[in-house]
Amino acid sequence: MVLSFIVFLSLIVVNVSIDANSLQVDRWSAMEVTIKNIVEGVYPYNKLDHLGQTSSNLPGLSLLGLPFYLLGDVGYLQVFVFGVFGGWIYKSKREKKEKVLILILLVLSPAYWWEVFAKSDLMSNVLLLLIFIDFWKEKYSEFTFRKPWLLGILVGFFCLTRGVVLIPLTIMLFYEFVKTELRKKVLFLLGVVVSMFVLILPILLSLEDFYTIIENNPFNHQTKYAPKLLILLALVVPFFLSREFSASRPILNYSMYVLSGLLLSTFLLNVMEEGASKNIYGKAFDLSYLGMLIPFVISSLSSLNNQILQVKIKG
């Protein structure tokens, strides 16, 4: 708790100290522009942020950032998510050494601090997803679909934050969904549809014409770096990996493998086509996307470390 509190205060200081308009990263302004236009009833995906780019923020991510937009700075989302993450780690059923290790690995990650300084929402989005998976599998380990309506609402929300969340959610849910009874399937799907419809409705109401959404939509940005075949493969593979997990860790590990394959393959293909310099130092590939792997890697490393400690204790 002491470590979490120190980092929490540090995040506030960093966020206050950074002049957002001086950043050459537009994650914060893309979120701000999207929220601002949705609140004002204007279609958001053809409006420009402070770097002259259009937004790729899905409606769920915009809802997540809304309270901090109203506070005057969407960068506080990072502070809030770390507070939630620290509280969840503290309350989780992990060994104390593992809890401290998870926090230390996160705090020592340069990729995480880049996210903080850039006022980015990417890793916060992933951390919240991990908290949800960990919480749900711990609370309903015997039967994931015990509360299908609530589960559907939450899944619908997460699906409209970022497209990559479909990978861990599919691994977590598909196998059990196939096995569960029809009534719960219907309630779950209804929850997903209602949740997504409510989030999308303000954008649909602000839509001027169908051509606008074809030319300007968030999926154009979210899929521009990876080849379509790789994206399709990354979305299909989780269906085959999905099994009846009693805990969240296998889900997170398999998610890490699929995401690593997608991101690293995309990066290597881009390097082969356009050269390393354009992809590392230029704009041919957004290296910060690799940061979404960090929470999965930390979860895997902490789990491995805990297994090694248990073996040593038994030995």
Dihedral (C-alpha) 71, 72, 74, 78: value to the nearest 10 degrees?
Answer: -60
Amino acid at 62: S
pTM strictly above 0.85: yes
Per-chain mean pLDDT for the chain: 87
In this predicted structure, the answer to whether residue 186 has a pLDDT above a threshold of 70 is yes
Q: What is the pLDDT of residues 79-118, one digit of tens each?
A: 999 999 999 988 887 788 888 889 999 999 999 999 999 9
pLDDT of residue 78: 93
Interacting residues of 298 by C-beta distance below 8 A, sequence separation 6+? 102, 105, 106, 109
pLDDT of residue 208: 79
Higher pLDDT, 147 or 308: 147
In this predicted structure, the answer to whether residue 6 has a pLDDT above a threshold of 70 is yes
